[in-house]
Amino acid sequence: MQGQRLLQGSAHRPAAKPQQQPRQPRRRPAAAPRAAAGSSAAPAAAAAAPVAPPPPAIMGVVEGLFQWKPLFNMAAKKARSMIVQRGEAIGIDWAGAMAKRRAHDWDAELKGVVNYAVTYPDYYTKAFHAYEQGNLCWDSALEVTLAAQSVHAGVMDPANKAFRRDGDAALRGAYGERTRQLMAAQGFDPASVRSAVDLGCATGLSSLALLEAFPGAAVTGVDLSPYFLAVGRYEQREREADTGRPEALSFVHAPAEATGLPAASCDLVSMCLVAHELPQSATRAILREAYRLLKPGGVMAIMEMNPASPAFQRIFSNPFAFAAFKSTEPHLTEYVTLDLAAAYTDAGFNAPQQLENTPRHRTVVARKPQAA
Ligand SMILES: C[S@@+](CC[C@H](N)C(=O)[O-])C[C@H]1O[C@@H](n2cnc3c(N)ncnc32)[C@H](O)[C@@H]1O
pLDDT digits (tens, 9 = 90+) for 127-179: 777 677 779 999 899 999 999 999 999 999 998 889 999 999 999 999 999 99
Domain assignment present for 25: no
Q: Separation of 213 CA from ligand 1 center, angstroms?
A: 20
Would residue 143 count as lying in a domain? Answer: yes
Alpha-carbon distances of 234 from 10, 24, 28, 203, 263, rounded to whole Å: 23, 43, 46, 9, 29
Judged by average pLDDT, the poorest of 136-145, 203-212, 225-234, 255-264 is: 136-145
Q: How far is CA 12 from CA 5, 9, 72, in A?
A: 10, 8, 19
CA-to-CA dists, residue 201 to 17, 126, 196, 294, angstroms: 27, 18, 12, 17
22, 43, 258 from 367: Cα distances, Å: 31, 14, 20
Residue to mutate, 10, 198, 220, 277, ligand 1, most ligand atoms under 8 Å from C-beta: 277
Extended strands (E) in 236-318: 249-253, 266-272, 294-305
Amino acid at 200: G
DSSP state, residue 6: H
| pLDDT of 45 above 60 | no
Confidence of residue 15 (pLDDT cuts 50, 70, 90): very low
Instruction: Specify if 79 maps to a domain.
Output: yes
In angstroms, what is the span from residue 223 Cα to ligand 1's centroid? 6
User: Are the C-beta atoms of residues 236 and 247 closer than 8 Å to each other?
Assistant: yes
CB contact burial 248-271 (16+ within 10 A = b; e otherwise): bbebbbbbbbebebeeeebbbbbb
Looking at residue 26, its pLDDT comes to 34
CA of 368 to the centre of ligand 1 (A): 23
Q: Which residue owns the Cα nearest ligand 1 atom 7?
A: 206
What pLDDT is recorded for position 204? 98
Ligand 1 geometric centre to CA of 161 (Å)? 26
358: DSSP letter: E
| Ligand 1, pocket-test mutation among 168, 224, 270, 278, most atoms within 8 A of CB | 224
**Domain count of the fold of the chain:** 1
**Per-residue pLDDT tens for 99-134?**
999 999 999 999 999 999 999 999 999 877 767 777
* Amino acid 65: pLDDT: 66
Q: Which amino acid belongs to residue 133?
A: Q
- Decide if 17 is inside a domain: no
Instruction: Give the pLDDT mean for 41-70.
Output: 63
Taking the centre of ligand 1 as the mean of its atom positions, its distance from the CA of residue 209, in whole angstroms, is 15
User: Which ligand 1 atom sits nearest the alpha carbon of residue 129?
Assistant: 1
Q: Which domain holds residue 149?
A: 2-10+34-367
pLDDT score of 90: 95
Residue with CA closest to ligand 1 atom 27: 202
Return d(Cα 56, Cα 53) in angstroms, integer: 8
The answer to whether position 16 is within a domain reads no
Residue 209 CA, closest ligand 1 atom number? 8
pLDDT at residue 231, rounded to an integer: 97
Q: Residue 88 Cα, ligand 1 centroid: separation in angstroms? A: 25
DSSP conformation class of 15: P
Q: What is the CATH number of the domain that holds 178?
A: 3.40.50.150
Q: Find the 67 Cα to ligand 1 centroid distance in Å.
A: 24
Considering the domain boundaries, does residue 28 fall inside one? no
The reply to whether 257 falls in a domain is yes
pLDDT at 31 over 90: no
Residues having CB within 6 Å of any atom of ligand 1:
124, 135, 148, 200-202, 205-206, 222-225, 228, 255-257, 272-274, 277-278, 282
Distance 179 CA to ligand 1 centre (A): 19
- The pLDDT value recorded for residue 51 is 60
CA pair distance 91, 78, nearest whole angstrom? 20
For ligand 1, atom 23, name the residue with the nearest CA. 200
Q: Which atom of ligand 1 is nearest to the CA of 205?
A: 9
Closest CA to 349 of 303, 298, 285, 280: 298
Residue 232 lies in a domain: yes
